[in-house]
Each structure stands twice: as structure tokens, then as C-alpha cells.
Structure 1
């Protein structure tokens, strides 16, 4: 019997399909991801995608088309150019651990939903038929690295939602119908490199872009007005045509015109055409005085001017003659004999106390400012700890086997220099074409500069000693504080200068809010130094185990947020970098804290230096952070997960990772804690006493469960970093 109503038939088929597939829904994939991808399939109008189902199924186990997974979670959906239609729905935000969602170059319409997955990093919807406005929920996507919404039909303004998107690198909003001014929070996009806004109707000024580190900016065919900030003109790839700018740059006072002369556009001048040169129109006041400019007047002015020039020239000659005589007499009187050695040629104009600083061609330029002796006063009293074992550990701050060779000039007197990075030039390793050093963002320093900034690497500027060398606090000429890491001889000998530049290039590309930024480097006289941003609140190790007063103020929520920041840094290294980067030295002493106690992980990208260290296992295993597999020389991303679990145990208990001052069975924090993590009574007793019970019992249990999974003996049983981040996010 035929169906009377088509809708009834469809409903009947769906019910039958559900009944048939229900017994087979159990699979490898997380049920929440299964439900989310089922809803996406229905919203896209059931496209002909291999193995996709509207109900149930196993996307990870059955390898659905365009779907990539890590263990049981969907992490990537790539369906670009698949001729998809339909719309998107709010269930898109139900994915638990998705990182990449690429639906570009299709025919999807409707508006972009507000409920978006918080774990997303690469989000591309460009080349579709989306309408409506950009959702303000973008403000919640703090892990976003690449956002592409270009070539759609979206309207309205750009929402002021960039405050938390400090890791965003690429943003494309081009070819829409967006209007209004750039939002104030654009200045918070500190990692942004590429910004495409062309072919919209955006207006206003560009001031919010001038302090960003952009390398590619396209604002063509908009309604931007006013002067272009000078800093934007230095962007290597800056396209700006088709905007009604008033002028190309903000005029400096030295080039400003007299008030009696006004700028007026030429007859053929069109707004936005920066090649047109405006003509000068004569002001009415000047026009009314034309009668003065007769032949007699011109002759009189010429004679007067010649007389004035003659008098001025005579005065200058007399002044110079007198000055030269005075200088000669003074020199003869003093005879500059204080710096002459017996028998030295008095005609030798070069003093032996003025060192000649070699300048490596092609790497940087050095502008000589003045010769000043290094101050004997310390810059400031540095705080203990900067990703290193500080002086309170009893380690000799300057071990003999780590001493670097002295520079080829005297230390007491150095020449003050100003370092200027060479603009678009790059230092490229010949054996690794993919590694290039952008000297525009990473500054090459000289030994002389770093000596002056660190008071000749004095004891007062010494912060601490780590596995790779000593660290000193330094103050740059602009007043900015940085930390200078002197890579020790043991690690330096393993790398040539070219390999060190490749390492610097690698580190400089690590851009994440929870990773310490590399400011510059020094590769001179066979010495390798790294210059990092300075975090003024020390390390997590100091906060937990040294600073008793502030330790007591560390609340439960603050501890969870610190664990989340550290986990996000490792997630970026493991899953956001290709190839993945293993930290290899993750510990609480390498977790730095800024003035807001936000986490910044140091020593990222230095695994190549650590991999050759013969003492790595003994040092890492002895301090309690080394995973069991390190004993056999195997170190992977899962080993970092183990170390993160140890750090979270420190946050939970307030204890050190390895403490010989405690009873024998409690030396190792992991071995002591593991048997108690699943016993709620024992767990309550092992919590840091300084919390005074101010924590939710349910949150405590969940945190202990995350730790337990991280410190599993077998690496394969430990969760990926994306899963840890998601679990910690649910606790905030």
C-alpha cells in the first residue's frame, strides 16, 4: 500500500533505520562526538559522503570520509570543496575535542551558529553562502589559530570579541558586506601575522593595527579614511588601494607646510589613488601681496640676501678659526700622555683601551652611540628562578665545566650599541631550506650589548642554573627586562652556528599565550645565547615550595587555571606544531608566572639540545618528573603528559616531586600518591593543607582522576593533551 503522506513515509524510514542500527551504535568513537557528527550530517542535507550516517555509527572506527580522530575523539573534519549544501546548527559546539573544521568552498548557507566548539584551532568557512553577522561567541575560542570566513555574504560589523584570541595567527574576513570600524579589541591580537579585510565597506581609522606584528595586510576596496600609520607602511605585503585616505602617511613636523600654504587635490586626483601628488594652491593672503614681486623688488632682495650671506660666512670662518686654535692649545697643554706607554709612538691616534668590536656582515648592524664603562651597580635584585633550579637549591651558579670562553676584548670597558635588525632579510640554513630566521621579529644581539645589559653577567644579575646553562636578568636600552640564557659549552658543542640559527628559527615560530616568547639571540665568538621575555613573578616551583606567604593565597581555582595553562602550552607543542615538538624538560621550575599569575612555559623547542645529553635520564628521573620509559631512552609526547601529571600532583598536594626530607616511602611524589588517588578519604588527607578544605569535593575527585590517567605506567594509556585540556576546561 502506497504512503499517503510523503512526510509520514520519511518518518517511518527513519524509525526503521534507527531500530536496525541501534544494536550497532556502540563503537570506538565517543558518543558525544557521534551525536554531534550525526547532527552535522542532517544539517548539511545528507550529502553523499562515504560511510556517513544520520544516526549512530562509528566515525573513528570506520574511518568516515574527511574525519580524523585521536583515540576515541573526532579531532578534524575536512570537507572543503565537496559541493555541500544545507546549514550549520548549534550542535556544532557539542564536539568534545575537535581541532580542525574545514568546510570551505561549498554552498552552505544560513548564519554561523553561536555554539562553537571551544577546542577549535583552525576554523574555515570561506567560499560559502553564509549570511547574518559574525557571532560574538568567537570571544570564547581562546585556542583559535586560524579563522577564515572570507567570500560569503555576511553583514554587520566585526564584533569586539578578540580579547582572548591572543594566539590567532591568520584572520580572513574578506569579500563580505561587513561595515563599521575595526573593534578596539583588535589590538589584543598579539600573534596575528595575516589579516585580510579587502572588498568590504569597513570604515574609520587604522590606528588599532599599528602595533600588531603583521606581515600580510590587505584592506583594499573599503572606506578606510584618515592618515595611514607609519608603522603599517613597513609591512612587507601591504595592499591598501581603493580607500579614501587623506594622505599616505602622517606628516612629520619637519615637513609640515607653512600656515599660508594649503593642500588642495589636483583636478585629476581620485580618493584612494596614492600615486597622485596633490598640488599647492595659493592662499588668498599670499595672492593679495603679488604686487610686491616686481623687478626692482627682486633685485633689492637679491642684493640684501648676498650681503647677509657674506656676513654670515665671515662670522662662521672666524668662529671656526678660534675654536681650532683653542683645541690645538688644549691638546698641546694636556698632551694626552696619560694613556701612552713608554716608547709608544705619540702619533698613534688609537688608544689601546678602545676595543674594536667585530661586526658580522649580513646579520645585523651596530650603531655606535658612546663609550661608557659598565656600571658597578646591579640593575635590580633579580627574583629567584627563571625556568631553572635557583640558588636556593645549593647548585653552584657557575660550574667550571659550563664556563664559556671569554670574549676577545676587555670586560671592564665596552661600547654601548644599539641593535637594528635587518628588515625583510632572512638567515637560512642551507641544509634545511624550511628553517628561516625572520630577523624582523627576533633580534640579533651582540656580546657587547648583552654584557652591558647584564652588568657583564654579574652575580647580582644571575637568576639560576638549568640543564642547558646559566640565566641572567637584563635590562635593554628601552627599559624592557629580559632573561638571557647562556647555553653551556656541553650543549653548544653539539651544534654548529648554522644549526643554532636553525634552532632559533624554530623557537621564534612558537607563538602561544602560555609559552615564553623568544625576544632575540646571540651567535658570536662561538657563544650561543637566547634572550627571552621576562616573567616577574618567578616560577610555579617557587610559588609552591619557596614562597610560603603567597603559597597560602593560592586558591583551588587558581591551581586549576595554572594546570590548564600548562596543558594548553603542551597541547600547542604536540598538536599545533608540525612536526610535533616534545618538551623533554617539563617541570614546575620551567613554568613561569607573570604579574597576573598566568602560566608561561619556558625551554620550549630546546628538545634538540636535550636529546644529546647523557645526563638527561639521571637528572630527570631523580627529580621525579621523568616518565618510566625514559630509562630505556624512549621519549615521546606521552612522556610530557606524565610530567604534566607530576606538576598537577604538586598543585594538588603542595609537595615537591621528589623530597628526601620526607619519610623514605614518601620521597617520590608519584609513588606515594598513586595508591590514594581513587580513595576519597585518603585523597582528602593528601590535599595541600594550605587550602584549609576550600575546594569542591567533586572537583577534587575529577582533578585526581585526570592526574591518575596522566601518570599511567604505560605511555599508550595516557590521554592526549587535547583531552586533558577539555577535561580541565570543564572544571573551570
Structure 2
């Protein structure tokens, strides 16, 4: 019995140990994400204040398999954290340096404060902290990020001198330090940024000389509104996009005490103009404190330098006073005219809406619809915007004829819709509002447009929480994600970032209103929008994932289909889209960002142009605040635009000419891998468009001579006219369309 009891005791111990080992193994096998990365992201999450991010937990968890929002992994390692405009607060904390393999950190457009931690992961390549509340300066540990290629910390509250920590950042391409309070000179180590092409540092208090930048391969340099002085290095003047206004170049600050007269005869004042006891040195009149000196200066003001200074002061005061008076008068006139325009537009809106009864303006609306309309408006008035409704009551003046309720009757506005269904309950059909007309913020849920209003929750569901696997394009205004509805229908969601994600709701709705009416076979169609919380999103019909830029320069099965005739028809489709913007819209629209990356193309070689009507988002106030997606090439912009001029329809024509050159040659507009003479496409090709032999040598080799000389010559003539340096010598796009139509007809006739 004793032996039997001992055996049972040993068996129980063995079983217990086996269970413990199994539990240990299972616990470690269950967590797929690297333990170091889990610990690092937990610490980072706590430092942010544990915000409500889908999937995130403050302790443990498995980010790579549990689909934490904004977290991207490669196998078991976290490689990116991308959370834009999520209203994050707190600080970054000291856990960032514990990530083992992270490459990208993008936390732009949030409210994160504190300083930038010195413990940064050495594997970082892209570091974007734009539009937050960071204070302090850049840590010296930046020098350890030897793999860094892109960094933007613009629009924060950073200050102090820039650290001399750039020597080892030889791979840095884009750097944005703008709209902070940095001061002092540029550190000498910036001269080692041998890959830097885009550098924005406008609106700081940086001073000193710019010599440290003169040997860098810059293509885009903005130093506006700083304190840089001295002469501008000649090499910087050759930068394609160099903005330098708002700096005291070629000026000097007068010293508080002038040197002795005997030291420099030219700089000394005339001896006759000063009393004998002033012969040693002269104190400027702005610093005089001695009463006897003031008396002497006043007695000799008629013939001395002080008299001249006083006269100059009087003249300066008069000029400044006149300028201020004129500015005040102009402001008063502007305010009065603006008020009258708004009042007139409001009256027109009320009158025009009196006859609107839905999609058909002459169809009567019955009493039942009126009652439902009043019910919906009443529900909205009781919501969170009640105070704003009272303040803007004179702007709303909603009538029961303004809305049409689509059957079946919608649920109450305050009740969230079931996840798999689209929400169409507040759809309003009305006459387009002219550009500049005010749209009340109370119309967030009842927009005056036929576009569908989506909620953030819906778009998150359809895009898998804006997962990077759904990313279609990364454009100038933000990222575009593929969205799949419950019925299988595909849409594309443009998520505006940076400054554009915070534009006022009424301005955003005016934008939606203006572009929702763009209807053309070669233009991407807007079908919806979202303006909830701090999100601004535009929803388009999905057309194709491929862009003309990809097909020409990366190449796929479509590249083989780009025969000579196909290239002409592609050019014609693109030109027709531009013609519609320039002549078919009222008022006419200028695209401002016309390039192959914004031209979609499907398997049938049909093209559609994106970002139409969004030029207001590409103003200087928006583009300068891009979160790392800064443009590294301005090769599509017309010369007058690069010289500080305005965009016009002729600048779009220039961009179109560059696109035709790409179709002709297969070259990129700028390619540093080509021989030096061929790197700038327009510069290289423009002198060879008039000789047929030179033309044949330029043609894309994949065409293998399958084109006629006459057709090639006509194509070159169109290009030559479009890329003229002076805008007045470029044709209207309607003329280009007619020329391409004739080329297409000639090709078809030759085939027959």
C-alpha cells in the first residue's frame, strides 16, 4: 500500500509538471507578435493616454494578428504605426526605442504634446509628426537614425536651435521643419545631407547664412519668413522651386555705437556738423539720453545728420499713416461688399428653393412628405448642434419644400444604422449652390447635394479600418482606400490629411457641392462624402487601381497594349477631360495637379482623371503641411508657376504636353539614372521635336517602329505647342482635342 501510494504521488507530480509545461508553451505560442514589440506598443499606448483605438489594449495583446488599427506587421514584427487625425493626445513616451523593426511612424494631425523623445528606434525610415502640439527641440539622438529618408515635424510648437546632428543622415530625402519656432543658424552638419531634395523650413526664426545648403541636390527649398541674411548663394538660385520671401537678405543691422571718426573718413560725419565735444564718437539720435547732447543736436539740425534723420522720420511716418489709412478703407469696403453678396446669395437660395420639391422641380410635394420633413428637421434641431442652430437661424431658413424623403421611411437620425447597410436617409436633392455661397454647418446630415452621406463607422467597415492592404494610391492630398460594400459594390475613399482634414464643415460641403456635379466619361465620379467629427473624406466610384504613370513606367500587361494608336486615343481621352474642366464647367476649373499619377486607366485603355475640382485644397496653406508625402519633382508644372505665378488653363496645357512626351518616349519627366543631358525630359526633347530622324530616336523602343512618320510628326507638333515657355503661345485645350481627333480619324482611314 505504501509503495502504491508513492507511485500515485509520483504520477501526480509528473502530470502536474506536464500541465505546467503545456500551459507555458501554449501561452508563448499564442502570442504571434514579437514580445519586444508588444511591450513597446503597450508602453506607447499608455503614454498616449490609452485612447479608444479599435483593437488596442494597454497590456499584452497580439497586434499583428488582432488587427490593431493603424498597426502594420511583417510576419511577427511591427513595422509601421500610421494613425492620422484620430484626435490622439498624451505624449510619445520613452517606449519607441524598444521597437525591434519599426520602419514608419506617422502620427500627423493629432494633439500629441510633450517633447520628441531621444530614445527613437534606429530602424526608422519615415517619421511624421506634423500638426501636433510638440514642444522643446529636436533631440541630438537624431544622428543615430542613419536609415531615415523622410521626416516631417511641421506645424508644432518646437523651438530652440537645430542640433548639429545631421552628419550621418545621408539618405534623408524629404525634411519639413516649417511653422515652428526654431531659431539660430543652420548647423554645419546639414551640408552632409547628400540625398536631400525637398526641404521646407518656412515660418520659423532661423538666421545666419545659407552657404551650408549650396551643394545639396535640392529641387524644392522653402525658407520664407525667417531671419536669414547675407547674400544668397548662386547655386541655390538654380533650384527649380525656391521660395525665399520674408528674409532680410542683403541688409545689415545698424550698430548701437558707431566706430570712431578717425578710423574711417568715409563713415565719419562732417566735423562742422557737430560741436567740438562730439569729435571722438557720435551716438545715434535714437539712443541719446544726455540732455546736453540733445540740445546740441537740435541746435544744429539744419546742417547736421540729425536733421536729415528727423526729416526722414517724418516722411516715413506720413507714408506709413497713408498706407494704414488706405488699408483700413479697403477692408471696410471689402467687408461691406462681402456682407451684401452673402445677403444676396441667401435671398436667391430662399427664392430658388421655394419651387424645389425633389429631383423634379415641378413635381408637387404632398402633406405627408411635409410632415416627415418637419419631423426630421425637429429631430436634428434637438441634437448636439442646438446652440449653433440658434446662432445661424437666419442662414438656415429650412422649408418643407427643401427636402424629399425617399421611401421607405428612414429611421430616426440619432439611431445608428445597422453595420452592413448604407445610410441614405438624409439625401437631399437641390439646385447647385454657386461657388462662394455659404452652407450652414447644420447641414452636415442634410447636405444640399445628390452625393450620399456616409458615417465614419461605415467607411471604416468598408475599408477594413483603412487597412494598408486596401490602400490604392498615396496622393498629394491624402491616401485613397478601396471600399467594398455589403452588396459587393466597389468604391474609393480619399482620406484628406493634414490641414485639409480640418477645414470647416461649411467649406467642405461647398466643395462637395461643386464637384458632385462633375459628370464626364473621362473624370472620376464623386458619389459620397463624410464630414463627421474631424474627418473629411470623399467617396468616388471605383474605376481602376492602375494609373497611367504605373502603366508607362512600371509596366504590366497593359504596357504591351499601348500601341501607337492606343497612345493617341489615351491622349485624346485625357485631353477631353481637361477640355470639360476648362470649358464645360461654370465657372471653369483649373486642375493644378495634372500628371499621370492622377490618371486612372482600365484594361480597355479607357482613362479617367482624378482630383478634379480640388484645386482649393492644393493652395499654399494646404500643400506646405503635407505629412511626409512632399512632392520631390515639379516637372509637370509650367515655368510661370515655378516662378511664383498663378495656375491657369494654360498651365494645365503645359502639364498635358509633358504627359504626351511621356507617351511618346516612355521617359519620366525627370530621371536621375539617365545620362545628364537626358535627365530633364522637356529640356532634352524640346529641341528634337522638329527633325524626323531625331524624333524616331526619341520614340519609346517598345513601339518598334510601328507608326507612320506623318502621325509621329503631328504628335510632336502638338507637344511642341503645349510646352512653350510663354503661356500665351500655348493653345487652348479645345484646339488640342480637335488635332487629336483628326489624328485618330487618319489612323482609322489608313487601316481601312
Quickly name the TM-score band, shorter chain normalised: 0.3 to 0.5
- The higher-RCO structure (CA 8 Å, 6+ apart) is 2
- TM score, norm. by length of structure 1: 0.43
Greater fraction of residues in helix: 2
Greater fraction of residues in strand: 1
